[in-house]
Amino acid sequence: MFLHLNNYITHQAKELQIEEVLSQLSVKRETKQYHIGKLVIVRWRDKVLIPCGEYLAKLLLEQFENFRSGRTIEISDLIKQCVTCYVTAEGYDIAENSSFSDQRDDFKLYKDTFELPLQQSCQNYYLSKAKEWENFTDSVAFIENVANLMDSEKNLAKLLMHPSTVTVIEQWAAQALVADKVKNLKLSFKSHMTDEHFNGSELHKCYNVLKLIDNGLIDLVKDYETYIIDYTTKKFGKDFNDPKIFVNVVAEAHEKFDKLTYQTFDKHREFTEIMDRVR
């Protein structure tokens, strides 16, 4: 019934072509005046959406808790439809394939009702995970855990939330779990960049987490640059001054690391610039 009424009212409000009768009146009114279509939406928001918000937010958070505890998520489609009603009430298109980054500041009703309680819930959950993982000594293993958690949280947000939340929930996780480590510790990735094996898939996960943090890529970039220099130096061996060997080694290294940079670091500028520095 809630969804039926929401769809009916928003449709009617958009279709109404009545002129702004109130604005044509010469009599001054103290109350705020709306176009009749806007008035319908405002009344629907004030009398139904806002009063129902607390209950829906509680139901939403319960589903996040169920998922994190390994329990079944219930009525996810219905919850998502109800949640997105709070965006349509503000007059925005909620097509799944649209970009919402430029409009997020306008989603006040949606953010106040659902995102703020969810953010607090996420912060508490991430702090508990940080304590659980506090004894990790391998930077890659720790950040890989964070990356897996981020993917899980994003998938859950896709099921239950408006698409604009999917992009911010991973930022919450990265900031809560990794930002302090980037700031206060030197992360090391050298053990995953060796002559025997380059752990591209794990390092790619690290990259996806660290790129969300200010100056988060510094240690990863430094270790990758060291790896390139060490690899190339060993390839030269004692024949550094041999022009033929020099050209062949440079060509081989360029092909190898151009491919690695693309596959592992999405050709991010900070990694492609390494190749220019070491040539």
DSSP string, 240-257: TT-HHHHHHHHHHHHHHH
DSSP state for residue 26 in the 8-state scheme = S
Asked if residue 163 and residue 247 are part of one domain, the reply reads no
Q: Is residue 57 part of a domain?
A: yes
Q: Averaged over 24-45, what is the pLDDT?
A: 57
Alpha carbon distance 10, 259 (integer Å): 51
- Interacting residues of 62 by C-beta distance below 8 A, sequence separation 6+: none
Using one digit for the tens of pLDDT, what is the confidence trace for 159-168? 999 998 998 9
Q: How many domains does the chain have?
A: 2
Asked if residue 243 and residue 126 are part of one domain, the reply reads no
Which has the higher per-residue pLDDT, 115 or 41? 115
pLDDT > 60? residue 8: no
Asked if residue 52 and residue 157 are part of one domain, the reply reads yes
Quickly count: other Cβ atoms within 10 Å of residue 33's Cβ.
Answer: 12
Asked if residue 247 and residue 225 are part of one domain, the reply reads yes
Mean pLDDT of all residues belonging to the chain: 80
Q: Is residue 185 part of a domain?
A: no
- CATH number, residue 204: 1.20.1310.10
Asked if residue 156 and residue 225 are part of one domain, the reply reads no
Asked if residue 254 and residue 164 are part of one domain, the reply reads no
Q: Is residue 124 part of a domain?
A: yes
Q: Is residue 255 part of a domain?
A: yes
Residue whose entry in the numeric block shows the structure tokens 């930022």? 171
pLDDT > 50? residue 98: no
Q: Averaged over 75-95, what is the pLDDT?
A: 75
Asked if residue 126 and residue 62 are part of one domain, the reply reads yes
Return the pLDDT at 239.
Answer: 63
Alpha carbon distance 56, 142 (integer Å): 34
Which has the higher per-residue pLDDT, 73 or 3? 73
Q: Is residue 184 part of a domain?
A: no
Q: Is residue 183 part of a domain?
A: no
Asked if residue 273 and residue 161 are part of one domain, the reply reads no
Q: Averaged over 68-84, what is the pLDDT?
A: 89
| Percent of the chain at pLDDT exceeding 90 | 43
Asked if residue 149 and residue 52 are part of one domain, the reply reads yes
Round to the nearest angstrom and report the end-to-end CA distance of the chain: 67
Q: Which of 124, 152, 177 is the last residue of a domain?
A: 177
Q: Is residue 182 part of a domain?
A: no
The encoded tokens of residue 48 equal 């139904």
Q: Can you give the residue range of the structural domain that contains 207?
A: 190-278
pLDDT > 70? residue 27: no
Residue whose entry in the numeric block shows the structure tokens 């409000």? 13
Which has the higher per-residue pLDDT, 104 or 138? 138
Quickly count: other Cβ atoms within 10 Å of residue 270's Cβ.
Answer: 14
Return the pLDDT at 17.
Answer: 38
